């Protein structure tokens, strides 16, 4: 597959301490698969300026897109915007259009506090990612797309962002369930994967009330080829059950 | 905090394609916090030999412990053991004690297949991580601990592994709920974080039926200091509500 590649960078001590279950990676992964962007890495790092800067620098050099979540609120532990600015070597300031979005969100009559204004600090040269859920915008600098950690806001920002990005062919998949452990089908599966080299053939064992089973997932961009591989798998299934 | 640091490496295309929601990181993070190991990074990578080798090499050099999940079953996409062997520059072969665990799991009378034996291939110099759930063992090579991706087996292997590892002081936490958005308390919170520099003070906004709110989490190894910070937060809460 020659779709553009991407990485996700999740920023937040709360994930690494086990307080919070990470909630945005699964959504992002599914959406990128739909639009034909190949997610190649997810990295979770703490609220540590130098660590975030290093991760952004590494990931943006290796991938067409980097999607971040977390650390863009008003408190002392929200340090993502400054880290992105440093990673690109650009300045960061309160920006008028971001301030206007926050003003609209709090209501025209209210004075914006320092905390509101902190959320209007945007690295120079960025494009805003506005959203229908909150006044505080995300932003893109180059190929780095900075979004909120709160799941509903992350979803809304991604909806806004995705249509404008370079993407490729949607990745399609079909799945077949085997009521045997994966050891029983490993040999024919390996032969199938060797034959259909442009497809990805994944084997996912499970155990439920009725015993061991295996789901086989075939992924690729050519649906006819996927269908052909599934036919072959159905024949394998008839031979083992 | 001077606890030993750790990274987690999750191996699996199914996470990156959005087929499967990653399920082991949250459990690992909570357990490491309890025993005093400081989880500093989680990285998810695809079933790609070179990428896995590079990730293991980078993470094992940077941290006291590396915990991996996924890719140790019998099928063609299970390539973790070979990648770990390559990362350490050691050989890998079927090992007698691993074979004996698999034989016990399938029953003394049955002949082990090539697929069973594939799960008994262990890098030279490794220590096995046996588990009560399945015959296929995990293993540790140096500071890299290789475990299964199936959640129940990951949990069982971690139970087996953790008591023998170097660890530090358990990290404790207390949490206080504010029924205001985090912007309203950002300034006193920053002052508190500046004063209690050996503690970690996290601010986690949420939105529920009654409106915006914020949970403040104080973490550290000294419970008296945490209690003092929480008293200070209760005073802040009285002042804003």
Give the nearest partner residue to A76 out of B74, B193, B204, using CB atoms.
Answer: B193
Length of chain B: 241
Q: State what percent of residues in chain A have pLDDT above 70.
A: 99
**Alpha helices (runs of H) in B18-95, residue ranges in sequence order:** 25-35, 49-62, 80-88
A15 plus A93 within the same structural domain: yes
A66 plus A179 within the same structural domain: no
Residue A123: domain span: 5-164
Q: Which of B164, B193, B212 is the last residue in one of the domains?
A: B164
Q: Which of B164, B186, B207 is the last residue in one of the domains?
A: B164
Residue B27 tokens read as 């459990």
- Model confidence at B98, pLDDT cuts 50, 70, 90, reads very high
Q: How far apart are alpha carbons A153 and A157 in whole angstroms?
A: 6
For position B98, which CATH number holds? 3.40.980.10
**Alpha helices (runs of H) in A145-203, residue ranges in sequence order:** 151-161, 186-195
A149 plus A185 within the same structural domain: no
Q: Residue B1: pLDDT above 60?
A: no
DSSP symbols for A54-100: HHHHHHHHH-SEEEEES--SSSTT--HHHHHHHHHT--EEE-HHHHH
* Higher-scoring residue by pLDDT: B129, A182: B129
B152 plus B218 within the same structural domain: no
Q: How far apart are alpha carbons A175 and A205 in whole angstroms?
A: 13
Q: How far apart are alpha carbons B65 and B6 in whole angstroms?
A: 5
ipTM over 0.95: no
Condensed to tens digits (0 to 9), the pLDDT of residues A25-51 reads: 999 999 999 999 999 999 999 999 999
3-state class (DSSP) for residue A41: strand
Q: Residue B75: pLDDT above 60?
A: yes
B9 plus B58 within the same structural domain: yes
A80 plus A128 within the same structural domain: yes
Give the nearest partner residue to A44 out of B16, B41, B115, using CB atoms.
Answer: B41
For position A235, which CATH number holds? 3.30.300.100
Q: How far apart are alpha carbons B61 and B67 in whole angstroms?
A: 13
- Model confidence at A205, pLDDT cuts 50, 70, 90, reads confident
A231 plus A116 within the same structural domain: no
Whether residues A44 and B46 touch (CB distance < 8 A) is answered with no
Burial B15-53 (b: 16+ CB within 10 A, else e): bbbbbbebbbbbbbbebbbebbbbbbbbbbbbbeeeebb
- Model confidence at A97, pLDDT cuts 50, 70, 90, reads very high
Whether residues B118 and A187 touch (CB distance < 8 A) is answered with no
**Neighbouring C-beta atoms of residue B98, cutoff 10 Å:** 22
Residues of A in contact with B14 (CB under 8 A): 202, 204, 217
Q: How far apart are alpha carbons A72 and B240 in whole angstroms?
A: 23
State residue A101's pLDDT score: 94
Q: How many domains does chain A fold into? A: 2
């Amino acid at each position: 597959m020659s779709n553009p590649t991407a990485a996700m960078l999740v920023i937040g001590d709360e994930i690494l301490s086990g307080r919070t279950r990470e909630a945005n990676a699964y959504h992002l992964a599914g959406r990128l698969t739909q639009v034909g962007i190949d997610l190649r890495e997810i990295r979770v790092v703490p609220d540590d300026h130098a660590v975030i800067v290093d991760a952004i620098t590494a990931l943006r050099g290796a991938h067409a897109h980097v999607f971040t979540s977390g650390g863009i609120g008003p408190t002392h532990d929200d340090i993502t915007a400054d880290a992105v600015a440093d990673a690109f070597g650009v300045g960061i300031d309160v920006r008028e259009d971001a301030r206007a979005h926050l003003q609209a969100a709090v209501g025209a009559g209210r004075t914006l506090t320092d905390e509101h204004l902190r959320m209007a600090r945007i690295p120079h040269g960025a494009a805003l990612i506005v959203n229908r859920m909150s006044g505080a915008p995300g932003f893109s600098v180059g190929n780095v797309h900075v979004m909120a950690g709160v799941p509903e806001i992350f979803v809304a920002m991604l909806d806004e962002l995705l249509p404008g990005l370079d993407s490729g062919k949607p990745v399609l998949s079909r799945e077949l369930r085997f009521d045997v452990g994966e050891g029983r089908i490993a040999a024919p599966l390996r032969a199938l994967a060797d034959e259909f080299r442009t497809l990805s053939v994944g084997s996912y064992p499970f155990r439920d009330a009725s015993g061991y089973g295996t789901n086989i997932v075939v992924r690729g961009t050519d649906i006819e080829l996927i269908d052909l591989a599934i036919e072959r798998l159905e024949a394998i299934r008839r031979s083992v059950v």
